[in-house]
Amino acid sequence: MKKRIPEIEKLVAEEAAKHSKILYIHDVNARNLGGYYVVETTVHLAPSLTLKEAHKIAHELEEAVRKRNSKIIKLIIHIEPEGED
C-alpha cells in the first residue's frame, strides 16, 4: 500500500471548499508517483445540474488544484448528486 499525502489531500479539500457549487467533498486520496501526485476524490453537486455543468465544475476544481501545485499530474473526480450515495 502506498503512503497517503495529507498535505496534498488538504489542498484539494481547500480548493473544493472555495467552489460555490461543490456541496461536499470526501474520500480525498493522494498518492506519490515518482515525485508527482495522483489524486482521487468524490464531490457532491446539486442533482439539478446538467452533465455539462458538472463537467465544468470538475474542470474548474482540477485547474485550481493544479495552479496551487503543478506536481499534481492527475486529479480523478467522481461526481455524485447530493442526497444520493
Across the chain, mean pLDDT equals 95
Statement: residue 8 has pLDDT above 90: yes
Instruction: Give the percent of the chain with pLDDT over 70.
Output: 95
Q: Which has the closest alpha carbon to 62: 74, 52, 54?
A: 74
Pick the CATH number of 6-81 from 3.40.630.30, 3.40.50.720, 3.90.650.10, 3.30.70.1350: 3.30.70.1350
Q: Which has the closest alpha carbon to 41: 67, 5, 69?
A: 5
Chain segment 50-72, per-residue pLDDT in tens: 999 999 999 999 999 999 999 99
